[in-house]
Amino acid sequence: MKSFNVSIAKAGVKIPMYLMLLVFVFIFGFPFYYMFVLATVPGTQMYQNPPHIFFKTSFFENVLALLQDIPFPVNFFNSFGIAALSTVTVIFFCTMGGFALAKYEFKGKKMIFFFLLSTMAIPPFLNIIPFFKMMVFFKWYGTWLPLIIPGMANAFGILLMTQFMQGSIPDALLDAARIDGLTEFGILRHIAFPLSKSGIAVLGIMTFINSWNNFLTALVMLPNTDKTTLPVALSKLFMQMDGDRGGLMAGTFLAVLPLIIVFVMFNKQIISGLAAGSVKG
Amino acid sequence: MVETPKKIAPYLFISPFIILFAVFGLFPILYSITISFFKWTVAGPQDFRGFQNYITLLTSDPFFKGSLRTTFLLLVFGSLAQHVFAIPLAIILNDQAVKGRGFLKVLYFLPYITSTVVIALVFNQLYEQNYGWLNYILENWLNLPKVNWVKDPKAILASISIMVNWRFIGWNTVIYLAGLQSIDKALYEAADIDGAVGFRKHWHITVPLLLPIIFFAVTLSIIGGMQLFEEPFVLMRGYEQMGGPSNAGLTSAYYLLATGFHFNRFGKASAMAWILFAIIMFMTWLNKVVTDKLQK
Amino acid sequence: MRKMIVPILLICVLLTGVLTSCSKDDKSAEGPSIPAYDPEKEYSLSIGCYGDLERAYLAVMETEDFKNTFPNITFEFQTADFNGHHSRLTTVLAAGEATNDIEALEVGFVAKFVEGGGLTNLAAAPFNGVEEGKDIVGFAMSNATTQDGRLVAMPVDIAPAVMFYRKSIVDAAGVSVENLGSWDEYIEVGRELLGDRDGDGKIDQFALPNANDVALTPLSGGKGGWFDDAGKPLEPKDKFITALTVVKEIREAGIDGDLTAWTGPWTQGFADGTIVTTINGAWFGGALKTWMATDTAGDWRVTRLPGNELAALGGTYLSIPENVSADQKAAAWEVIKYLCADPNAQLTTFEAIDAFPALTTVYDAPVMDEGVDFFGGQKVRQIYAEVARDIPNAAVSEYDAAILSIFNNSITDVLVNDVEVEDAYQTALNSVLAIAD
């Protein structure tokens, strides 16, 4: 891959490029850094002007205050559990569905494709009301189920996987596998899944993050601060008179850390997808 | 071991979606269509209205048409503009010679996962009229007049666009990165042998190969952009203000939610949702037509 | 795709029938079929609230009196932030369900439910809310009462609007903000309150944070005034134009700091003397005391608004969603009654979160006569009570929320975009009429 590198690494392009990257680092990274700073500022000094730029030392006090205000470990567990389950189920069902659309020809395929796309176009805003009605009817109110089951095979996931799989799985390989006697499910398991690591990683990241950050559905479906997810529990502290603002910021920061960890983990998968791809051909 | 014939397999694989949709997706859609024909409040249906809601929205409603215009502008400058940045960024980050790319990738993705609370805080600070950082830079470093970022109707669109770009460029970059990873390396090597270099190579090889992903990412941007709610809502202080002076920041989704949850007119809100749906479908179709043409 | 249209339409028609027929028959939960509250029976009640309310009600539940009155009830809270809570509540009620036995509401949201949607009528038997609430301030009760006499929620706290000011700065300027007769007089005084503390040639001390702070008080805090009791549109040109004109004059006099509420500079302004006076509900005194301006303790005072204008800027209500099961309703009502009409509960809440009592009999309690240290020993509670007693009833309408949003935009238009007051009124009026249906 030397020539690929050379094309970008030409000196004249290098410096402005790194400069631009650096600018973006600052622009994209600053609010996050600021969040970290605020997490270390004592609650009573939170709103000073000019705003803080360097960290202070109250992180652990803030965390303690937070633990008094909300049952952080429980909320964290709820958020994590729901997000993890969502991610696993979504990856499974959407890869399956995406494979169907990417590598098979069948009657009604175009219609399904169109249908999937159109379900994404439906503005989701008002759905919460009939959806809530249904969840009460099924007696799923107060459980994790509304946050996991309905989204398991969602249009976004399927279409995402379709796009990735179209490019990354050669038809020749599939034909060879069939000749060798592999069943369709076998192909799904031994070829489709392994070769789609990049797509799966992206889907996994997106799903985990969206599930974790979901506010309204969690708010409506999970009663009591003791049983709800982290974003909802933290919201209790917004603009509270006596609530510790430092705690809120510390909580917000801690709530984001798992997302970064998940991202880094899945990121490696995206790269290893590259390795798998380059072996063939 | 049961042998699944190749014919049936795709139907099986796609069936979870169909089943889940039939159970969880259908009722909300039908419900939503139904209430759009009524005056519907928290107390339930009040009045059968037929297509009245739709007609009012498209003709005499003082806010809907303006909100569509706002939404379109933000779509172009906030959502679609991102791809202009995201594709080159992805190509750069894909290049193994670039140092620190793992770290950069995480950093660029941070805006997407930063919580709304913090984003609201930071951007309000940034845009504050008299003490905010942006105006400080404008006035003191660049000797330019201050901009009233959140109160001047003309500036509001820029403010929101900046927020949306900031939030999602990294997201799109990650999608394109993953897409780039799946491009067959053999094609690149062939191009190198032919002597294609740098920008031209990317323009003529990489981008066309990325077209399926671009179509997908752009479709997502269209859908997301037409449904844009969170950023304007946070910047324009929620329901108190109807999108700010001259409703400059009132996107259609914002107006939709205000109409339903704040003004208690769910029927009208639902009608808005379906009008938006029609528009989104149309634009997606346009996108497909354009992409197909480009693929020739 | 075309084949699907006919079945879909049929289903819609069916659904229509189903939905319309079943949405109204839960009224059977009202009236004599509600089992009476049984003090021997064990109940478990859930309360939905926002912000500090959980803390306040927990404080009440810790008191001996409460424990003795309700030893048989256990409680659970579902607390979220202000907006989240109300979104959740609207969603739940719009779906025709109920998930908590008691739900708190802010005054701005009560109007939405006033036309009869989703909340139990507390005026009816066996609640008799009007009778039980006879000692609660009239305006608060009327804000939650529909035209046909249904009481949809009970007031638990109110927010009489007053002016807070920094005594040392006002004294130093040689003026007084007490007993001002009108907003014009206030503007005159305001000019004297401007200052340049750091000597850099730019004014950095302002009379008030923002001109738009005064917009709501001539309009009863934004409640009612645009539609009469029968729902016919009024055209309150005079009141509206007066309000906007005052706002404009304040801006033109240059006495406001153009600060946006709840931003860093705004919050800081109370602590460092950038802001000399401000107008807000009584609860704001609590915020100043607890976290916004702790170092300035002793320097703040409270006074009536210019011209003794009366308004309420806030206020909390407790309600019972329509679809709560019948046997829970009686118990829920007993608790609501206690929180709203028991003097001990009202005082405990007041002490916990500075939520001013809605129960007038409490105003004569000794604690109301105490001086408050943060205000230099001033008997501020008497002032709040004075204002509270006199606030006039306002006919709320379900359009209040929409009107407020439109009105806020008019204010910004007048202040920032140089729109003439008359034009702003006309635009607002057209918008209001257009969305009223």
Q: Which of residues 46-65 of A touch C (CB under 8 A)?
A: 47-49, 51
Q: How far apart are CA C96 and CA C89, in angstroms?
A: 11
- CATH classification code of A71-236: 1.10.3720.10
Q: How far apart are CA A2 and CA C187, in angstroms?
A: 74
* pLDDT bracket for residue A242 (50, 70, 90): low
User: Residues of A with CB below 8 A from B2's CB?
Assistant: 183
Q: Which two tokens stand for residue C123?
A: 């005026």
Q: Kindly report whether the peptide bond that precedes residue C126 is cis, defined as omega within 30 degrees of 0.
A: yes
Q: How far apart are CA B139 and CA C60, in angstroms?
A: 53
Mean pLDDT across C259-287: 87
Chain C: residue nearest B32 by CA? Answer: C12
Per-residue pLDDT of C71-116, as tens digits, reads 999 999 999 988 899 999 999 998 888 899 999 999 888 878 776 5
- Whether residue C223 is predicted with pLDDT greater than 80 in this model: the reply is no
Predicted structure pTM score: 0.89
Residue C201 region by backbone torsions, left for phi larger than 0, else alpha for psi between -120 and 50, else beta: left
Please check whether residues C332 and C236 belong to one and the same domain: no
> Is C376 domain-assigned?
no
Q: H helices within A41-143, ranges in order?
A: 59-69, 72-103, 109-121, 128-138
Per-residue pLDDT of B86-145, as tens digits, reads 988 888 888 767 778 888 888 888 898 887 878 887 888 788 877 778 888 888 888 888
* pLDDT bracket for residue C6 (50, 70, 90): low
> For residue C302, what is the enclosing H or E element?
strand C300-303
What is residue A186's three-state secondary structure? Answer: helix
> Is C302 domain-assigned?
yes
What is residue C79's three-state secondary structure? Answer: strand
The per-residue pLDDT for B185 is 65
Q: Which residues form the domain of C111?
A: 39-159+314-369
Please check whether residues C173 and C241 belong to one and the same domain: yes
Mean pLDDT across B161-180: 89
Q: Which of residues 22-41 of B touch A (CB under 8 A)?
A: 23-25, 27-29, 31-32
* pLDDT bracket for residue B241 (50, 70, 90): confident
> Is C6 domain-assigned?
no
Please check whether residues C69 and C153 belong to one and the same domain: yes
Provide the domain count of chain C. 2
**Mean pLDDT, all residues of chain C:** 85
Please check whether residues C50 and C81 belong to one and the same domain: yes
Please check whether residues C173 and C271 belong to one and the same domain: yes
Nearest one of C419, A186, C27 to B44, comparing CA atoms: C27
Chain B: residue nearest C407 by CA? Answer: B241
> Is C5 domain-assigned?
no
Q: Are the beta carbons of A28 and B108 closer than 8 angstroms?
A: yes
- Whether residue C10 is predicted with pLDDT greater than 70 in this model: the reply is no
The per-residue pLDDT for A68 is 85
Measure CB to CB from residue A232 to each of C80, C92, C95 and give the nearest one: C80
Q: Which domains does chain B have, with CATH numbers?
A: 53-295 (1.10.3720.10)
Mean pLDDT across B256-272: 91
Q: Which two tokens stand for residue B260?
A: 């339903």
Q: How far apart are CA B238 and CA B255, in angstroms?
A: 10
> Is C19 domain-assigned?
no
Please check whether residues C204 and C279 belong to one and the same domain: yes
- A125 close to B (CB below 8 A): yes
Mean pLDDT across A262-280: 61
Q: Which of residues 177-216 of B touch C (CB under 8 A)?
A: none
- Whether residue C1 is predicted with pLDDT greater than 70 in this model: the reply is no
Beta strands in chain A (DSSP E): none
Q: How far apart are CA C181 and CA C191, in angstroms?
A: 16
Please check whether residues C282 and C324 belong to one and the same domain: no
Q: H helices within C235-304, ranges in order?
A: 237-252, 264-272, 283-287
Per-residue pLDDT of C286-309, as tens digits, reads 888 888 888 899 999 999 999 888
User: Cβ atoms within 10 A of the Cβ of C316, count?
Assistant: 29
> Is C82 domain-assigned?
yes
- Whether residue C269 is predicted with pLDDT greater than 80 in this model: the reply is yes
Please check whether residues C288 and C220 belong to one and the same domain: yes
- DSSP one-letter code for C275: B
> Is C327 domain-assigned?
yes
- Strands C154-166 and C356-357 turn out to be antiparallel
- How far from each other are the two terminal CA atoms of chain A, in whole angstroms? 15
The per-residue pLDDT for A264 is 86
Which of C331, C351, C369 represents a domain boundary (last residue)?
C369
Beta strands in chain B (DSSP E): 38-41, 44-48
User: Cβ atoms within 10 A of the Cβ of C282, count?
Assistant: 29
Q: Which residue has the tokens 């500090």?
A: C52
* pLDDT bracket for residue A274 (50, 70, 90): very low
The residue ranking higher by pLDDT, A147 or A49, is A147
B128:C117 CB<8 A: no
Please check whether residues C361 and C427 belong to one and the same domain: no
Question: What CATH number has the domain bearing residue C307?
Answer: 3.40.190.10
Please check whether residues C296 and C338 belong to one and the same domain: no
- Whether residue C172 is predicted with pLDDT greater than 70 in this model: the reply is yes
Which range of B161-170, B193-202, C235-244 scores highest in mean pLDDT? It is: B161-170
The per-residue pLDDT for C21 is 45
Measure CB to CB from residue A281 to each of B7, B105, B184 and give the nearest one: B184
Measure CB to CB from residue B182 to each of A21, A153, A164 and give the nearest one: A164
Q: Which amino acid is at C47?
A: I
The per-residue pLDDT for A146 is 94
Please check whether residues C164 and C234 belong to one and the same domain: yes
* pLDDT bracket for residue C261 (50, 70, 90): confident
Nearest one of A98, A212, A115 to A157, comparing CA atoms: A98
Q: How far apart are CA A39 and CA A26, in angstroms?
A: 19
Query: Which range has the worst mean pLDDT, A33-47, A263-277, C50-64, C243-257?
Result: A263-277
Please check whether residues C271 and C324 belong to one and the same domain: no
> Is C180 domain-assigned?
yes
